[in-house]
């Protein structure tokens, strides 16, 4: 068999790395369900999900006390993977009612953050939210079936993807993907990208489910993103910048900060690459890249994680989300075949959820790693 033929997309088999290294099915299932319950219904210093009114709910960014499209769409992906339709629909209803624009330059995009009561804090979108919304909605459609609007999940997903590619063609606004390079932008108006936004495994599936006239674009976007990540990830350390130009080089400092280095956004790159390998196995480079980033962090204690230049020089500044970084380093084991893969999975298993003020981002990445490493981050 070719590598692609061995991918989960074809075999419908998902690796359970926890089981491979000795944990029992009972232990794994208990950990997965217990972690869901902690995040959605647990103690006040751990949970990140909150119901609102009779039909809505949100994930709270506990460090900034706001609600983000990142969090809502992540929560929807968690819910569809766990077969939790009520929480999924509550999150989607919140996003649809409070965050999605119905007119203007951002029509069908989502305001990237708002207050817990739904009041918008700024109108502009963050494209990683739109990607996760669309993928989670397609999975919901395939898992549960479409219902009446706004729970006609597949139609809602196609509307989002149509805007991502065609916004501005007939008036104001900008698309979320650069038409020339087929790379996702940091924001629609920008001329650079964010390596952690690149989800070729999603684009492969969009090529099956989006509007028919756009399916070739999504196939090309998957290949473009895989090639882009080769350039955005350092050839020795495996580290990527938070923001990077279309040629993969770190983007210039922005008015809101310097994002040329490996810090919070960039942690997701390793997880995305590993999941793309698990689902599609089209790019063997992903195996060595995953080995590379695990090799870089091999001898660094989680408590010593820092901000780094992409060539590996540490800053004095500590990592803001060390548990999240550990989670993505462990998730890299889906693709890695080096000596560090098993160690990172054990380390992750023995690390609890983060509690306290900054827990939101860490624990989102934690739950995705838990799904992936237990064979439960699946295509539906």
Which residues are catalytically annotated? Answer: 70, 265
365 near 265, Cβ under 8 Å? no
Q: Where are the beta strands (DSSP E) in the chain?
A: 49-52, 56-59, 67-68, 113-114, 120-122, 306-308, 314-318
Helix 153-166, helix 127-144: angle, nearest 10: 150
Half-sphere exposure of 337 (CA within 13 A, CB side): 7
Q: Which of 150, 143, 34 is nearest to 81 (CA)?
A: 143
Helix ranges restricted to H, 42-152: 69-81, 85-94, 127-144
Question: What are the tokens at 153?
Answer: 């999940």
92 near 150, Cβ under 8 Å? yes
Distance, CA of 225 to CA of 227 (rounded, Å): 5
138 near 153, Cβ under 8 Å? yes
Distance, CA of 181 to CA of 146 (rounded, Å): 34
Report the DSSP pairing between strands 314-318 and 56-59.
unpaired
Question: What are the tokens at 178?
Answer: 């650069």
358 near 63, Cβ under 8 Å? yes
Residue 34, SS3 per DSSP:
helix
Distance, CA of 151 to CA of 147 (rounded, Å): 5
Q: Write the Ramachandran bin of 65: left for phi over 0, alpha for psi from -120 to 50, otherwise beta.
A: left
Neighbours of 122 (CB within 10 A): 11
Residue 253, SS3 per DSSP:
coil
The pair phi, psi for residue 322, each rounded to 5°, is -65, -35
């Amino acid at each position: 068999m070719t590598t692609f033929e061995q991918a989960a997309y074809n075999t419908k088999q998902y690796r359970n790395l926890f089981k491979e290294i000795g944990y029992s099915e009972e232990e794994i299932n208990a950990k997965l369900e217990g972690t869901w319950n902690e995040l959605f219904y647990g103690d006040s210093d751990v949970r990140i999900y909150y119901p609102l009114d009779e039909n809505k709910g949100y994930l709270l960014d506990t460090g900034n006390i706001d609600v983000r499209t990142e969090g809502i769409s992540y929560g929807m992906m968690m819910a569809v993977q766990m077969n939790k339709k009520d929480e999924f629909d509550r999150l989607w209803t919140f996003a649809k009612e409070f965050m999605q624009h119905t007119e203007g330059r951002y029509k069908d995009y989502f305001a990237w953050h708002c207050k817990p009561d739904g009041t918008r804090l700024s109108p502009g979108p963050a494209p990683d939210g739109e990607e996760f919304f669309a993928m989670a909605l397609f999975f919901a459609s395939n898992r549960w079936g479409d219902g009446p609007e706004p729970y006609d999940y597949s139609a809602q997903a196609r509307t989002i993807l149509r805007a991502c590619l065609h916004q501005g063609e007939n008036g104001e606004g900008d698309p979320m993907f650069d038409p020339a390079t087929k790379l996702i932008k940091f924001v629609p108006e920008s001329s650079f990208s964010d390596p952690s936004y690149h989800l070729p495994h999603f684009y492969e599936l969009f090529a099956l489910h989006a509007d028919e006239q756009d399916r070739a674009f999504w196939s090309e976007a998957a290949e473009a993103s895989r090639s882009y990540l080769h350039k955005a990830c350092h050839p020795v350390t495996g580290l990527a910048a938070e923001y990077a130009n279309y040629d993969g080089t770190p983007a210039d400092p922005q008015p809101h900060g310097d994002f040329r280095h490996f810090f919070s956004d960039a942690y997701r790159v390793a997880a995305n690459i590993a999941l793309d390998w698990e689902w599609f196995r089209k790019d063997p480079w992903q195996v060595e890249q995953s080995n590379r980033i695990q090799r870089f962090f091999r001898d660094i204690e989680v408590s010593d994680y820092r901000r780094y230049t992409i060539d590996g020089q540490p800053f004095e500044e500590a990592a803001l989300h060390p548990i999240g970084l550990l989670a993505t380093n462990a998730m890299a084991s889906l693709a890695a075949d080096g000596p560090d893969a098993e160690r990172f999975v054990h380390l992750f298993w023995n690390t609890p959820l983060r509690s306290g003020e900054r827990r939101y981002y860490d624990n989102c990445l934690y739950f995705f790693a838990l799904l992936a490493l237990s064979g439960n981050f699946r295509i539906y």
